[in-house]
Amino acid sequence: MTTVETDTMTDIFLSKTDFCILEGNVDNRLLSALRVLGFTKPTRIQALTLPHLLLSKDLIGAAKTGSGKTLAYLIPVLNILIKLGFRQKHGTGSIILAPTRELALQIYGQLNKLLAEVELTCALIVGGEKKKKEIDLLSTGVNIVVATPGRLLDHLTNTEAFVYKNLKCLVVDEADKLLEAGFERCITAIIQHLPNVAARGLDIPAVDWIIQFDPPSDPKVFQYYPGITKL
């Protein structure tokens, strides 16, 4: 897709065309999962972000709770890994970070629904669960990891069999909450472990798109996104 095509796709999406517009750009099995879920039209944040994320652009998106942000990033994340032919031997291609177990579980639930017809593997790595079980799981080569920060950092540091050198996407869900919860140091340490992501950092100038149609009431919140506190 060129930029013009990207803009056109956004326009078509915003004029309430359905997910069929993604045919040819998104794997049919993902589109089929969307149909099974009964999702026909993208929400506004999905319409605004999908054309960019499908081109693997870096993006910060802000929209109110319940607006469909999870699918907005899950569809492109899965599509990228499918396109690249990710198998268990390639290890983890995407990490999705969430501030709480509850949110991580919610994301994991949506992820599994989208993966109904796809062979990618996924795991939920959250504090409070048995570490040995997670180590065994990570050792099998898990393509998508949904995690809370503390437990993820623990595995990045201590689990030798955790293969993440092929990582392609890092999603920081509810980044403002992650930092509110005092995780900033932990997230910085996580990013230092990650190839590609660490090299580029998460600086605002390195982000291709910032899509924000429902900004937080206090703009200062943006000062606390990971990677920009030094600005």
Ligand X SMILES: Nc1ncnc2c1ncn2[C@@H]1O[C@H](COP(=O)(O)OP(=O)(O)OP(=O)(O)O)[C@@H](O)[C@H]1O
The residue among 104 and 138 lying less far from ligand X, judged by its C-beta, is: 104
Q: CA nearest 120: which of 161, 154, 175, 169?
A: 169
The DSSP call for residue 67 is: S
- Grouping H, G, I as helix, E, B as strand and the rest as coil, residue 95 is strand
Q: How far is the CB of 148 from ligand X (least distance, A)?
A: 14
The residue among 42 and 51 lying less far from ligand X, judged by its C-beta, is: 42
- Grouping H, G, I as helix, E, B as strand and the rest as coil, residue 147 is strand
* 69: contact with ligand X by CB under 6 A: yes
* 127: contact with ligand X by CB under 6 A: no
- Cα 175 to Cα 64, 78, 98, 99: the distances in Å are 13, 21, 8, 8
Pick from 2, 15, 66, 85 the residue near ligand X by CB under 6 A: 66
Per residue in 129-151, is it b (16+ CB within 10 Å) or e — as a string?
eeeeebeebbeebbbbbbbbbeb
Pick from 43, 56, 121, 159 the residue near ligand X by CB under 6 A: 43
The residue among 47 and 138 lying less far from ligand X, judged by its C-beta, is: 47
Q: How far is the CB of 82 from ligand X (least distance, A)?
A: 19
Pick from 17, 25, 67, 212 the residue near ligand X by CB under 6 A: 67
Could you give the angle at the alpha carbon of 219 between the alpha carbons of 225 and 181, nearest 5°? 45
φ, ψ at 119 (rounded to 5°): -85, 5
* 71: contact with ligand X by CB under 6 A: yes
The residue among 134 and 173 lying less far from ligand X, judged by its C-beta, is: 173
* 68: contact with ligand X by CB under 6 A: yes
Pick from 2, 15, 65, 217 the residue near ligand X by CB under 6 A: 65
Residue ranges binding ligand X (CB under 6 A): 39, 41-43, 46, 63, 65-71
